Amino acid sequence: MTDYFFDSSALVKRYVLETGTNWIVSICDPRAGNTIFLARITSVEVVSAVARRRRNKSLSGANAAAVLDDFRFDSANQYFFVDITDTLIDRAMTLADNHALRGYDAVQLAAALILQDQRQSLNLPDCQFISADSALNAAAVSEGLQTDDPNLH
C-alpha cells in the first residue's frame, strides 16, 4: 500500500487508453489498497482532456460519457482532494517562476508539496508524485518529491 499524488496527465490514463494505462489502472485498483490524492483542479483537467478527445473523434460521444461517469464515480468514492487555497496559489506562482512551469502544472506541484508538508508534520510517509509530464517531474524532483512517469511503464 502506497500513497500517490497524481497530476491530470497521469490520471487521464486510467480512463483513456494510452501508454502507461495498465500501470495506472493497477495502482488505482481499490484492491491494491493505495491512496490517491489529487489537486481539486485535476477534475476540470480530466474532463477537458476527455472532451477534447470527443471533439477530435478519438473517443465517441458514448465512450466519452461513460468515461466521465466512471471518473465522477471514482472522484466521489476513491480520490482524496487537495483544495485550492490562497496559500497554494502563492506557492504555485513561486513554482511557476522558479521552474518556468505552465500555470496548472505549477498548481499541481504546489498541491503535492503542500500535501507533502502536511504529511511530514504528521510523520506520515512521503507520497509518490505521478505525472506524464517530464518538465513537471523534473521540477518535482528538484523540490524533493519522489516521482514516476507512467509513460515508462
The residues near 126 (Cβ < 8 Å, ≥ 6 apart) are 3, 116, 119, 120, 145, 146
Over residues 115-135, mean pLDDT: 97
Query: What pTM was estimated for this model as a whole?
Result: 0.96
**CB of 95 closer than 8 Å to CB of 106:** yes
- In the chain, where are the structural domains located? 3-152
- Report residue 90 as a C-alpha cell: 502563492
Q: Which CATH superfamily is domain 3-152 in?
A: 5'-nuclease (3.40.50.1010)
E strand or H helix that includes residue 29: none
84-117 pLDDT, tens digit each: 999 999 999 999 999 999 999 999 999 999 999 9
